[in-house]
Amino acid sequence: MALVADESPSPPLSSVENNFQPFFVLHKASPPRKSAVKTRRRIELSPNAVEDSPEGYNENLRFETLKFLWSRNESTIKEVLKNNNAEVFDKIDKWISESFNSICAYGKLDSTSATRPYPLLDKASISTSVASHQIFTALLCTKNMEFVDDIMTFVDLGAHLRSRGRYVANLTSLDFTAKNGVGGCLKSLLRQFLMVGIDAPDISILASWYTEQGNTGNPMIVIIDDTERCCGAVLTDFIIMLREWFIKIPIILILGVATVDGLRNNLSSNACSYLSLCEFTLGTPAKRMDAVIEAVLMNKSYSFGIGKQVSVFLRNYFLRHDGTLTFFVRALKGIGGESSSLGKNLVKRALELPSSMRFCQSRENRNDCAHGLSELKRLRKLWSSMVMCLYEVGKYHKITLLDLYCDMLEPVPCDSRASDHLQLSKDNSISSYNHHLLGCFQNGGWVNRAIQIVRDLPAVELCKLLKSWEMLTSGINEALTGDPRRRIQTDLLESQKFLKCSCCSKSSGVLSPSMHDTSIMYSLAQEHGDLINLHEWFHSFKEIVSHPRTQAKQRLRLSPSPKKRKACQQPQNQNEASIQARFCRAITELQIAGLLRMPSKRRPDYVQRVAFGL
């Protein structure tokens, strides 16, 4: 810890104290430029200040470019997904109108009974039928194992219904927790309908609000997005309560479920019988995925694209690991950022383009001319150059799997064949070099075709692709997701590779005393079973660290035999204490990394290994 602190320009005096604060303010935002005197060092390092340097300027330009392009993509994706659901949304809206008409058909309330602060259930005051005790409920089936893709769907549905003049509240499973009970969801409901936070939520508040508004012409819609994850008991209470107030507050429910059965499993049969269900189904995740790919990657009017391999990788990741569109979209965004940071040389090159130079000359008024049309064109070119590195290896449309495999390990430079698929630019001022670069761009069809090919591949081959991609992307972008379980273990088992020291690297496979203590300990742990005898472990460790290197080299396997130990024991108590302390610290660190469990009362002499294999 102190290692870096020593390096930093001005370590805060109270840093030791801060370590034991649950939280603390490291620093406040530096005031806008020129408004305060800062130390020289700070000025050099702050991003604002760097803006004046060409690198900082380029950096900022890159950032703005990317942000701009992505915001276009983001809105496209949103639009596509919305359109994809439009049909279902319209159906739901129609159903709401019909349901509300049937509620109204039960009869209107006179003003006195409407303002009473208790529910109406007596048969005298309303024309009843069995059906009148049922809450109209739409079951919106997502047909999706993962709910994360549908969070926006339900937000969109709410917005769609609001645009039709409905009162809508969106609730989530977090509003239906056993801890907060029915009050929790009621609070959220009042917050959304009345736009105020109420500490003691009561449904009669909602009833009087509804009557006061004079909105007898409009139902109240409550959307619960992830119904299967709601606490069943709270949801049941909520439904029973709504049913009691059914006439005073005409609430219509829209419940998001993965499958119809999910609801029945979660609710009591009693509550189920209070619901008059109508099923709606959203488009499948695969269909949505296709729509997004079509809109973002296949559309020629956007300068956004990903290489074949990247798409294959993402596709495989989607199919085999994550299964969510959300991740896919996020990865697209991440790859945009990644490629722009990878292609620094390309950016440099692009900034030397005549068009770019012109822009740079007039850069003092760059704040004034924000993203005009002509600039958009330039930014698009910049962007095109930046994503080039991703396209460089993905230009062939019809390649065997082996070719693909080799390509990924050893990218092939552009050749003339690629220019067949040249994406023509409107600006003629770009250099021939850049023309060549652009030659590597495919039009949307190739990507589509590549994905199609990949889709038809047998599972084993797909898996191979995925594996090779894992290798290729390791340390670069990992498509945003880390692999702590494997990587932390590798950090420990191959510490010399990361530390790049001269002392330990030579003796590959042999534990040398100079290695990182925790590394030695974890390597030793590999030889034990799921229980590690602390005594043996300690002595193995002690032998390694207290031996000169030459001797340690001779021993490949460690045998904690007592005779050997006797021979090598060093009498210095000081040394013994230090070794024991190092042993303790290594164990603590392994515990922090989650690789060990502490001795139980039953087995005080053993710790438990947690991870087996990488």
Looking at residues 520 to 579 of the shown chain, list those that interact with other proteins (rule: CB under 8 A). 528-531, 533-536, 538-539, 573, 576-578
611 binds other proteins, rule: CB under 8 A: yes
Nearer to other proteins, 18 or 362 (CB): 18
Is residue 245 within 8 Å of residue 207, measured between CB atoms?
yes
How far apart (Å, rounded) are the C-alpha atoms in residues 515 and 172? 51
How far apart (Å, rounded) are the C-alpha atoms in residues 337 and 322? 21
* Dihedral sign computed on CA atoms, order 315, 319, 321, 327: positive
- Considering only residues 14, 17, 47, 98, which one is a binding residue for other proteins as defined by CB under 8 A? 47
Q: Which part of the chain contacts other proteins (CB under 8 A), choosing from 40-48, 79-87, 89-97, 212-220?
A: 40-48
Nearer to other proteins, 107 or 484 (CB): 484
For residue 522, give both structure tokens.
């974890």
- Considering only residues 128, 192, 326, 425, which one is a binding residue for other proteins as defined by CB under 8 A? 326
Bridge partners of 596, per DSSP, are 609
Fill in the per-residue mask, 51 to 90: x = in contact with other proteins (CB under 8 A), - = not in contact: --------x--xx--xx--x--------------------
Q: Which residues, numbered 175-214, are part of the site for other proteins (CB under 8 A)?
A: 191, 197
> What is the per-residue burial (b if ≥16 Cβ within 10 Å, else e) of 174-184?
ebbeeebebeb
CB of 187 to other proteins, least distance (A): 9
Q: Which part of the chain contacts other proteins (CB under 8 A), choosing from 82-90, 231-239, 276-284, 602-610?
A: 602-610
Measure Cα distances from 72 to 83, 218, 271 in Å.
16, 36, 45
Nearer to other proteins, 247 or 466 (CB): 466
- Considering only residues 131, 433, 585, 600, which one is a binding residue for other proteins as defined by CB under 8 A? 585
Residues 6+ apart with CB under 8 A from 197: 187, 191
Q: Which residues, numbered 375-394, are part of the site for other proteins (CB under 8 A)?
A: none
CA of residue 476 relative to chain centroid, distance? 17
Q: Which residues, numbered 466-505, are part of the site for other proteins (CB under 8 A)?
A: 467, 475, 478, 480-482, 484-485, 487-489, 491-492, 495, 498-501, 503
Nearer to other proteins, 308 or 516 (CB): 516
Bridge partners of 169, per DSSP, are 222
CB of 16 to other proteins, least distance (A): 9
21 binds other proteins, rule: CB under 8 A: yes
Nearer to other proteins, 130 or 195 (CB): 195
How far apart (Å, rounded) are the C-alpha atoms in residues 372 and 369? 7
Outline where DSSP puts E strands in 159-272.
167-171, 220-224, 251-257
Q: Which residues, numbered 333-362, are part of the site for other proteins (CB under 8 A)?
A: 333-334, 337, 341
291 binds other proteins, rule: CB under 8 A: no
Reduced to 3 states (helix: H, G, I; strand: E, B; else coil), residue 272 is helix
- Planar angle of CA 267, 273, 278, nearest 5 degrees: 90
- Considering only residues 13, 31, 413, 509, which one is a binding residue for other proteins as defined by CB under 8 A? 31
Q: Which part of the chain contacts other proteins (CB under 8 A), choosing from 101-109, 119-127, 238-246, 590-598?
A: 590-598
CB of 467 to other proteins, least distance (A): 6
- Planar angle of CA 465, 469, 471, nearest 5 degrees: 120
CB of 68 to other proteins, least distance (A): 12
DSSP 219-250: -EEEEES-GGGS-HHHHHHHHHHHHHTTTTS-
